[in-house]
Amino acid sequence: MPLWIHEILHFSIFAVLYGFTGLFYKPFKDVRHFLIGFMSAVLIDLDHLLDYFLFNGFSRFNLFEFLSCDFYNKAGKAFILFHGWEYLAIILVVAILLKKTKWSSVAFAFALGMCAHLLFDTYVNGLPDYFYFISLRILNGFTL
């Protein structure tokens, strides 16, 4: 699936999940929380750009090659350092520790965006369910 379609789907899934959560969680009625969650749902994919340059060198950039994500198959590896269920767990612990502060809802919004992203990737990208655990990718040398 081309990366641009992938990103549109990330946004759409996040928007639906956010809207549903907003019915039950009052702070999510604030547009700033939506923007924070949206940013975490979409900007997490900046690590694909980092991987592209690590695999192809920093001297050239081909937009079509990047958007196709074929460079992962050629390299046989995927670092995608921002994709990790462990990060989500840490953010949720922080949100709980910050309970009764404005930062708690910010952390929850960030976590919701990240969760929507990781769930989508887990079930759409055709990789093993455990692939999005950064600790396991490290142990496996980031191989696909």
Beta bridge partners of 143: 77
Predicted pLDDT at 96: 93
Residue 117 CA to residue 11 CA, distance in Å, equals 8
**pLDDT, greater one: 71 or 5:** 71
Per-residue pLDDT band for 35 (boundaries 50, 70, 90) equals confident
What pLDDT does residue 107 have?
A: 93
What would the mean pLDDT of 7-33 be, rounded to a whole number?
72
Enumerate the β-bridge partners of residue 77.
143
Please check whether residue 68 is in contact with residue 5, taking contact to mean a CB–CB distance below 8 angstroms: no
Residue pLDDT, tens place only, 59-112:
989 988 888 888 999 999 999 999 999 999 999 999 999 988 888 888 988 998
- 137: closest CA among 90, 77, 95? 77
pTM score, whole prediction: 0.83
